C-alpha cells in the first residue's frame, strides 16, 4: 500500500505551527492537534537557521 493510500485510512493527527486559530478549530472538531509555540530558530537569522537545519538533518522513517 502506498504511503498516501495508508494515510487516507488513518485518523488525522496534526501538528500546528503558526496561526493558533487553526489549532483551535481542529481542537473544537475533536481532531488530535498540538500547537507549537513557535519562534524563529537561530534568533531569527535565516542563514544560521538554514545551516542548523542542514546540520541536524536526520532522515527518520516514521512508519
Partner 1 sequence: MKDSLGRTIRVLRMGRSTRERLNGAPREAGEVHSAYARTLNLLWHDGRLLTLHGPGPLLAPFAAAVDHLPGGLGPGMRAWREGEKIRLGPFLLGWEQGAAVETRLRPEEDGARLLLTVLASSRPAPPAAGLFSPGGRTAQRRLDHGIRERDARAFVEGAAGLIGLGEGLTPAGDDCLVGALAVLSRHAATWLAEHAEVRTALASASERGTTTLGREFLLHALGGSFSEPILRLIQARSAAEAVEGIEDLGRMGASSGADTLWGMRLALEALSP
Partner 2 sequence: MSPETIRSLVKPSAYQDSVTLLLLARQLRSGPGVVEAAALMATPSNRDLLEQSGLLTAEAAKAGSNDLVIAVRAESAAAAAVALAESEAFLGAKRKRLEDSGRALPRTLESARRHLPGANLALISVPGAFAALEAKKALRLGLHVMLFSDNVGLEDEVALKGLAVQKGLLMMGPDCGTAILNGVPLGFANAVPRGRIGLVSASGTGLQQVTALLASQGEGVSQAIGVGGRDLSEAVGGLMTFQALDALAADPTTEIIVMIGKPPAPAVRARVEARLRAAGKPCVLALLGQGVKEGRDATVHAVATLEDAAWAALAMLEGRPYIPQPFSIPAMELRECVEEFCRALRREDGAVRALYAGGTLAHEAVLILEPLLGPIATNLRPGSGGRHRVTDLGADEYTVGRAHPMLDATVRVEEIRKAAQDPDVAVILLDVVLGHGAAPDPAGDVAAAIEAARATAKMAGRGLAVVASVIGTAGDPQDLAAQCARLEAAGVWVLPSNAQAVRAAACIAGGEPVLARLLEGRP
Stretch that binds partner 1, among 22-30, 35-43, 44-52, 55-63 (CB under 8 A): 22-30
* Interaction of residue 29 with partner 1, rule CB under 8 A: yes
Residue 43 beta carbon to partner 1: minimum distance, rounded to whole angstroms: 20
CB 16 within 8 A of CB 23: yes
* Strands in the chain per DSSP E: 14-17, 33-36
* Interaction of residue 48 with partner 1, rule CB under 8 A: no
How many residues contact partner 1, by CB under 8 A?
A: 9
Amino acid at each position: 500500500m502506498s504511503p498516501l493510500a495508508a494515510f487516507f485510512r488513518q485518523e488525522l493527527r496534526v501538528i500546528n505551527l503558526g496561526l493558533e486559530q487553526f489549532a483551535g478549530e481542529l481542537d473544537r472538531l475533536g481532531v488530535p492537534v498540538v500547537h507549537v509555540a513557535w519562534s524563529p530558530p537561530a534568533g531569527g537569522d535565516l542563514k544560521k537557521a538554514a545551516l542548523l537545519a542542514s546540520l541536524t538533518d536526520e532522515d527518520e522513517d516514521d512508519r
